[in-house]
Chain A
Amino acid sequence: MEKKISFLKKPAVQTLIASLLCILLGLLVGFIVLLIINPSGAWNAMSTIMRNFWSFSSARGQIKNFGNTLAKTAPLLMCSLSVLFAYKVGLFNIGAAGQYVAGVGVGLYFAIGLQMPWWVSLIAGTLAGALLGALSGILKAYRNVNEVISCIMLNWISLYLVNTLLAPYMDITMSETWSLKKFYPSAVLPSLGLESLLNNHQYVTLAIPLAILVAVAVWVLLSKTRLGYELKATGLNKNAAKYCGMRDRFNIVLTMAIAGALAGMGAGMFYLTDMIKWPSTVTAVPAMGFNGIAAAFLGGLHPIGAVFSSFFIQHITDGGSFMEKTYPSEIAGLISSVIIYMCAFVLFFRQIMNRPKRHEKVKGGNIK
């Protein structure tokens, strides 16, 4: 009995339980909405969302859509790493969306405009994201501008800048940027033979293992290095960190730059596969960065947790698009936004789990 209690009190276990509870509540809300829309097919629709690629009968269809989901998970994972990295240092990087956009813009500009090979474009996109992140960091550290507000402004500024930057490189007939595969094959991320694992899937590239490697690197940086320790200390108490001789301002800028680099790199990992192109009229900041917030919190703000939560969120999003047409595919978006909303209550869930029961309290007192 006592062993079981201590198991439940472990932070990692509690985080896992809280995340699963969030998912469960999100799915429940989604299911209720499906029931209201049309009760007869609701169960079927829900299982389609949950099964995603498994809902295809042929093995070929399954593998193809599994690959699609994987390819889209890579950028989502990068955005969620960006958000959680900043959050660990006490900064809310709502600007992952804008840093992602900057990564798309500069990455595609290098690929199409300057006809650079893929690795130059990927690095350029990463640096663009880092620059934008660093800007928010500088404003926070030296001018005391709340990073949430400056990030929101920069999200929109970068959206309009990228629209202008990419305007000359549009395929008019498709009203989107030129296809990389057709016209600039050297800019497409190499697949390293991974595609043969998934039935020669054209979008499965280096991006997927790279994103997971980055997740591990972020974990190592945050929990195994001196720099990570300093960054976290700065986030916990800026003044105490400064007192201990840490460069508090520099650390804030560095954190935002790294967070921005992660989001910008994520953009390159997606757009340089040629799976997606930048449309000529974009009027809203892409949701990828915001979904990154969802994945980060659902993953319990742990880099390895983010790998699974990103895959899960992408999994149900893709599943949503395979439902019968009587149900709107945005149900998946609804479920994931309910999940983020529920994540805000994680602290409260934990409090409940940690609340000692009355008789236990007495017992514990006796032992001591």
Chain B
Amino acid sequence: MILLIQYTLLFASVLLLVALGGCFSEHSGVINIGLEGIMVFGALGGALVMRYLPGGTSAVVIVCLCVCAAMLAGMIYSLLLAVAAVNFKADQTLVGTAMNLLGTAAATVIVKALNTAANPDNPSATIQYVNERKAFLMFDNLEFSWLMPLTLVLLILAYTVLYKTRFGLRLQACGEHPQAAASVGINVYKMRYAGVMTSGLLGGLGGLAYITAGVSEWKFENGVAGFGFLALAVMIFGGWKPFRIALAALLFGFFRSLSNVYTGFDILNQLNLPGTVYNMMPYIISLIVLILFSKNSAAPKAEGIPYDQGSR
């Protein structure tokens, strides 16, 4: 049972971070399909810091540096989307797809190159961080990471920024009707950059949270196994609103962890369902929700449409 709660919270915090990232980007009017790639880059940033820090570094420093590195890496990577989508009016779905492919390929190349340079007999794409990962744990025997309270803080912060500040309301205006926003003097380009880069920041942190969730090494050729896409589902399920996204993340995290630990429950064993059913569940649920509620969708009206000053 405790295992189930642990995993639920771990996965939920990852999904929540990334989904909040997607939420910021979409509220500014840019669809971010590339969250998966952003997560990989955030994870890479964090993992590299863990690898190259000297052995005796204190836990606080490790956590702070990793978090900063992951956020920075995610943010820089998200610039690829921002430049293409905002300045060049590119097809956002296409750019996002390219970013997902590029994320895994580039991270694998970087890690392999570093590993081979350090030791020619090691052409793997794995980074190990057995000792460094312990810095993230709040308690010795439990898998509760310091990133969880941080996620909670960021959730409250995200809500406040989006709904209680001038910046957040302006950001949302750019996602609903950019021309109207521009007519009252809001710089749509800047706002969309801000939205996409915030999503990079949160997505990168989500990537770090994912690779430190219960494992102490990461094979970068695996990417993040669809978590970026799952986070998109969480965001839609949560109706683009931070607190509902949090609930959705808990629900999806619960199903995701059930697929890992369902063998430990007698009731579930008696149902005799294959483990893949639990894996599928989050996707099926969000598809059903989409079917039921898409007619009056809460999606930002102008998302995915490149901003054109001249159109009405």
A residues apposed to B, CB below 8 Å: 33, 36-37, 92, 94, 139, 143-146, 148-150, 152-157, 160-161, 163-164, 167, 283-285, 287, 290-291, 293-294, 297, 325-328, 330-331, 333-334, 336-338, 340-341, 343-345, 347-348
Known A-B contacts A156-B229, A325-B123; the reply to A334 vs B105 at CB < 8 A is yes
CB atoms of B280 and A157 under 8 A apart: yes
Could you pull out 12 A-B pairs where Cβ atoms are within 8 angstroms? A143-B290, A145-B290, A150-B287, A153-B290, A156-B279, A156-B280, A161-B276, A283-B225, A294-B98, A334-B106, A347-B90, A347-B91
Contact B84 A153 (CB under 8 A): no
In the complex, the answer to whether B109 meets A297 with C-beta atoms within 8 Å is: no
Residue from the list B90, B116, B125, B290 in contact with A149, Cβ < 8 A: B290
Q: Contact check, B295 vs A328: say whether CB atoms are below 8 A apart.
A: no
Further contacts, 7 of them, CB under 8 A, given A153-B233, A290-B101, A334-B102: A144-B297, A146-B294, A152-B33, A334-B109, A337-B102, A347-B88, A347-B89
Interface string of B281-295 (1 = CB under 8 A from A): 001101100110011
**Chain B residues positioned under 8 Å from A37 (CB to CB):** 109, 113, 117
Q: How far is the CA of A143 from the CA of B289 in the complex (A)?
A: 11
- Residues of A within 8 Å of B113, CB to CB, are 36-37, 327-328
> Assuming the A-B contacts A37-B113, A330-B221, A337-B102, are A297 and B290 also in contact, with contact meaning beta carbons closer than 8 angstroms in the complex?
no
- Beta-carbon contact of B93 and A297 below 8 Å: no
Min distance, Cβ B104 to any Cβ of chain A, angstroms: 8
- Complex Cα distance, B102 from A37, in Å, reads 17
> CB within 8 Å of A: which of B80-125?
80, 84, 88-91, 93-95, 97-102, 104-106, 108-109, 112-113, 116-117, 120, 123, 125
- Interface presence of B204 (CB below 8 A): no
Cβ contact of B102, chosen from A155, A291, A338, A347, cutoff 8 A: A338
Chief secondary structure at chain B's binding surface? helix
Number of interface residues of B (CB under 8 A): 53
State in angstroms the CA–CA spacing of A345 and B306 once bound together: 13
Interface of A is mostly: helix
Please encode chain B, from 236 to 247, with 1 for each CB lying within 8 Å of some chain A CB and 0 for all others.
100000000000
Known: A157-B284, A340-B94. A149 touches B88 (CB 8 A): no
A146: B residues at CB distance < 8 A: 294
A-B CB proximity, top 5 nearest: A344-B90, A333-B105, A328-B112, A337-B102, A337-B101
Docked CA distance A153–B145 (Å): 29
Question: Is B54 an interface residue when CB atoms closer than 8 A count as contact?
Answer: no
Closest to B279 in A: A160
Q: Which B residues lie within 8 Å of A163 (CB)?
A: 276
Q: Which of B117-144 contact A (CB under 8 A)?
A: 117, 120, 123, 125
Partner of A340, one of B97, B223, B291: B97
A284-B225, A334-B105, A337-B105 are contacts. A143–B294 as well, Cβ < 8 Å? yes
B294 contact from A92, A144, A156, Cβ within 8 A = A144
The reply to whether the CB of B264 lies closer than 8 angstroms to some CB of chain A is no
Residues of chain A within 8 A (CB-CB) of B120 are: 326
B40-78 to A contact mask, C-beta < 8 Å, 1/0: 000000000000000000000000000000000000000
Q: B108 to A330, Cβ gap below 8 A?
A: yes
Closest to A152 in B: B229
Tell me whether A284 and B84 are in contact (CB under 8 A).
Answer: no
Interface-centre pick from A146, A283, A327, A341 (highest chain B CB count, 10 A): A341
Closest residue of A by beta carbon distance from B106? A334
Distance between Cα atoms of A145 and B134 in the complex (Å)? 43
A92 to B98, CA, bound (A): 14
B226 at the interface (CB under 8 A from A): yes
Chain A residues positioned under 8 Å from B283 (CB to CB): 153-154, 156-157
Contact of A330 with B80 in the complex, beta carbons under 8 Å: no
Q: Decide: B232 and A160 in contact? CB cutoff 8 A.
A: no
Q: Are B105 and A330 in contact (CB under 8 A)?
A: yes
Interchain CA distance A145-B290 in the complex, whole Å? 6
Q: Are A161 and B280 in contact (CB under 8 A)?
A: yes
Q: Which residues of B contact A348 (CB under 8 A)?
A: 88-90
